[in-house]
Amino acid sequence: MKGRILVTGGTGYIGSHTVVELQNAGYEVVIIDNLSNSNADVVDNIEKVSGIRPAFEKLDCLDFNGLDASLSQHPEIDAIIHFAAHKAVGESVAKPLMYYRNNLVSLINLLELMPKYGIRGMVFSSSCTVYGQPDTLPVTENAPVKRAESPYGNTKQINEEIVRDTVISGAPIDAILLRYFNPIGAHPSALLGELPNGIPQNLIPYLTQTAMGIREVLSVFGDDYNTPDGSCIRDFINVVDLAKAHVIAIDRILEKKQKEQVEVFNIGTGRGLSVLELIDAFEKATGVKLNYKIVGRRAGDIEQVWADPTLANRELGWKAIETIEDTLRSAWAWQLKLRERGIQ
C-alpha cells in the first residue's frame, strides 16, 4: 500500500472520481462526508468501479469533536484531500453566512487536527474563482487574486490564505492548492458522475437533465457579455483528468518533491469555451437536441476565464487529455444510466 489518504467530501462529484484514481494508484482511502450534496450509494459504485470498497464515515467537517474521534480511529493517515465544501456561485450570493461557516470552519478544523495525528499532507480543492475576473487571459498562478465576485469565490481565497498562514506559523504541514476550472463529465463506466441533490446549480447537470426531459428548458444566464457570442466563457475540464491531478499531487507531497511547502497549480485545459459553444458541442457530440432560452445574467458570475496550465504540465507532469466531445458524451451516458437505474 502506497499510503492511506483521507478524502473529505469523497462521495461527491470530484471526490468520488478522485477516490477511484487513488485506489487505482495503490492508495488506501478513508472517506468522510456529511452527504449534504451526495448519497452513500456512491461508496457502492466506487467499489464496483475500482473493486475496492473504501472506508466511509458519515461525518460533518464542522464537527470538531467528531473529526477528532474519527482521526483517532483511523491511524496512520498520510495526507488529506479536502473537497468537502459548498460550491455554488449563485447560492453563495443568497446564503453567504452558510458558505463562510461551512467552507472556512471545516478547513480550520482539519488543519488544527492534522499535527495531533501526524498527518503532514494536505491537497486543497481550490478554484479559479479566486481570480475573480482576470485582467489577462489565459490566467496563470501569478495572476493577482482580485476581489472575488461571489462569497463562494471569497471563501476559496480565504481558505488559501488560511493554509498559507498555518504553514508559515510553523505547522508541520505540506500543502498543494489545486485551482480547478470547470469540472464536467462522468466516469467512462457511467457508474460515477455529477448528481447534485435537488435542482442543479451547475451547467452540465442542468443541461443533461433538460436533454433527458427532467427539466423543461435550460436557461442560459446572459448573452450580453463582452465575448464573441455574448455568453460566458469557461475552461471545462474532464473530471477524470482532474481526479488524476490529485493523485499526482499526493505523490508529490509523500515523495517530498515539493519545491515549496505550499504550492499552487491551475488545473484546467487551457481552452476557453462559451456556454453557447458548449451547448452546440453537446448537440453535435450526442445527436440530442437541447431546449434552451436566453435569460438575464446570474449574480456572481464572472464573464470569462480559462487556464494557463503550463505550470501543472511542467511541474506535475499532468495534462488534461480528454476531448470536450468525449467528455460531453460521458455526461450524457451518465444521465442515461441514471434513468436506467430509475434514479432520475
Q: By CB under 6 A, is residue 316 in contact with ligand WQD?
A: no
148 lies in the site for ligand WQD, by CB under 6 A:
no
- The string of DSSP letters for 275-288 reads HHHHHHHHHHHH--
Q: State the minimum distance, in angstroms, from the CB of residue 191 to ligand WQD.
A: 22
Instruction: State the Cα–Cα distance between residues 216 and 219, nearest whole angstrom.
Output: 10
- Does 313 engage in binding with ligand WQD (CB under 6 A)? no
Is position 2 an interface residue for ligand WQD (rule: CB under 6 A)? Answer: no
Stretch that binds ligand WQD, among 186-194, 214-222, 257-265, 324-332 (CB under 6 A): 214-222
Give the nearer residue to ligand WQD in terms of CB position, either 202 or 261.
Answer: 202
Q: CA dihedral defined by 24, 27, 30, 34, rounded to 10 degrees?
A: -50
Residue 41 identity (one-letter amino acid): D
The grid coordinates of residue 198 equal 435537488
Q: Compute the least distance from the CB of residue 219 to ligand WQD, in Å.
A: 5
We find the least distance from the C-beta atom of residue 50 to ligand WQD, in angstroms, to be 23
Active site (annotated) includes residue 152: yes
Nearer to ligand WQD, 3 or 183 (CB): 183
Residue 304 near ligand WQD by CB under 6 A:
no
Q: In the stretch 182-211, what mask flags binding to ligand WQD with x, by CB under 6 A?
A: x------------------xxx--x-----
Q: How remote is the C-alpha of 323 from its chain's centroid?
A: 19
Q: Which of residues 38-97 bind ligand WQD (CB under 6 A)?
A: 87-89
CB of 26 to ligand WQD, least distance (A): 27
Cis peptide before 96 (omega within 30 of 0): no
Supply the minimum distance, in Å, between the C-beta of residue 215 and ligand WQD: 9
Q: Which of 153, 328, 129, 315 is nearest to 236 (CA)?
A: 328
Size of the site for ligand WQD (CB under 6 A): 21
Site for ligand WQD in 161-180 (CB under 6 A): 180
Contact call for residues 208 and 334 (beta carbons, < 8 A): yes
Strands 273-274 and 233-234: antiparallel
- CA 113 to each of CA 64, 123, 131, 261: distance values in angstroms, whole numbers, following the listed order: 9, 15, 29, 18
Q: In the complex with ligand WQD, which residue's Cβ is closer, 127 or 269?
A: 127
- Terminal C-alpha separation, the chain: 37
Residue with cell 476559496: 156
Residue closer to ligand WQD by CB (options 201, 258) is: 201
Q: What is the distance of C-alpha 155 from the center of its chain?
A: 14
Is 298 one of the binding residues for ligand WQD (CB under 6 A)? yes
Residues with a catalytic annotation lie at 152
